[in-house]
Amino acid sequence: MSSPNLPARAQRDEIAVRFGERLRYWRRARRRTQAQLARNLDLDGSYISKLEAARRQPTKDLAIRCDELLNTGGELAAILRDQPGTLDPQPAVPMPVLWSAPTTPVDVERPHNHANPHTTVTLARLLEAYVDIYSTMGGQQIAGSVEQQAQDIIRMQIGAPFPVRRALLALAAKFARLAGWIKFDDGDRAGSLFWHDCGQRWAMAGEDPDLAAELLARQAMVHSTTGDHEGAIRLADSVADIHPDISASGLTWAAVARARTNASAGHDVESLHHLATAGKNFAAVTGSLQASPASVGNDYLWHTLRGKCYLDLARSTGQTAEYAAEAGGLLAEALQVLPSHFIRDQALGRLRLAYALWLAGNRETAAEQLQYAESLVRRCSSVRVHAVARRIRQTLHPGDQAS
């Protein structure tokens, strides 16, 4: 944000530099050349180069058109609102539609934004606590707080120094990811897709392409549960192209999304191919596969993702027993490294294992796993876990009432 102590001309020059930097970032992120963007805007081929080099002053109309073409969430137009004599800056990334700004009288002074690096540390610790609660009990009791926190952070990042703003956007994206998990846990697929989409956009605005790739991959996998397999596969195919600089972590999520969506559609050859690609990418991951905070380690996450993929294949193809046996082995390995106090995750993992064992023909062992899982289900509040438990009990013991 430009300094209010600078002369108007100097402020405009500073804004032109900032606009050029961000235009170049978003153009490259969307894999467009300067010539392509100029054609889309009906401009001379050299004009984009001059804008990016701050040799031309951008107009508000041009900024809005660039925002629309490059899907920036309004960031470029927001930069121009810093110009002298214009309105206060507005959010540079999309706000959830359920949020509306409170009405403030024009003569009431707005509170100063006190966001700083210490703020991000405090919020990160709060997020860690929320993730632990979700993994232990489910997220129904914290859903409202998590969603409100994401929206508060988006308001907070307005006008913050860019390093702080970038950190806040990444945190908002992670709160949105958790909100998406909770919505899915509550059976609200549309709400889950909404929050994952918000998180993906915020992660891109905060220049965290790996987190954006993870969130887009999660959107694809949630979308596959709606029955629109073609749409889910198209969404998964777009993950690897979200940004040219995604690392092995982002590429792993891209391949996993393609494997899972193809598995749900019954495309076993394609699914196994993408799963093998995911394995190669995962071997190159040097940090955490899931953007922090991650309540579980890479081994649990990797075994679970592969196990769920094989379970999808068991349900959607004619090779049920073979794929179910593979799923059972992977899900059992995942449970071995999952902390015992994560009751919700333990319950859901054992329910999946019971179903895999049943599909593989191990009916007695499946019944034992179900009994143990149900003892855990009674200790958590997750709507999804209780629904899965009822469904699997009806599958394993037709006619029985869920305990």
Percent of the chain past pLDDT 70, that is, above it, reads 86
Rounded to an integer, what distance in angstroms lies between the CA atom of residue 108 and that of residue 284? Answer: 54
Structure confidence at residue 94 (pLDDT): 42
Q: What does the pLDDT look like over 290-320, one tens digit per residue?
A: 877 766 789 999 999 999 999 999 999 989 9
DSSP 341: T
328-365 tens-digit pLDDT: 999 999 999 999 999 999 999 999 999 999 999 999 99
Q: Quick check: 87 pLDDT over 70?
A: no
Q: What are the structural domains of the chain?
A: 8-80 (1.10.260.40), 116-206 (no CATH)
d(Cα 24, Cα 32) in Å, to the nearest integer?
10
For the chain, the first-to-last Cα distance in angstroms comes to 59
Q: Residue 88: what pLDDT? A: 32
pLDDT band for 25, please (50, 70, 90 cuts): confident
Distance (Å, whole) CA 160 – CA 225? 39
Q: Record the tokens describing residue 157, joined without a space.
A: 């990042």
Q: What is the per-residue DSSP string for 179-227?
A: HHHHHHHTT-HHHHHHHHHHHHHHHHHTT-HHHHHHHHHHHHHHHHTTT
Residue type at position 48: I
Amino acid at 51: L
CA-CA distance, 99 to 101, in Å (whole number)?
Answer: 7
pLDDT the model gives residue 213: 95
Q: Given this model, what pLDDT does residue 366 score?
A: 96
Q: What is the pLDDT of residues 223-258, one digit of tens each?
A: 999 888 999 999 999 999 988 889 999 999 999 999
Tell me the H-state helices in 30-99: 34-40, 47-52, 60-70, 75-80
pTM confidence score: 0.72
Structure tokens belonging to residue 257: 């999304």
Burial of 154 (0-12, 13-18, 19+ CB in 10 A): buried
Span 118-131, mean pLDDT? 90
Question: What is the predicted pLDDT for the residue at 184?
Answer: 94
Structure confidence at residue 401 (pLDDT): 52
Query: How far is Cα of residue 216 from the mean position of the Cα atoms in its chain?
Result: 6
Mean pLDDT of the chain: 85
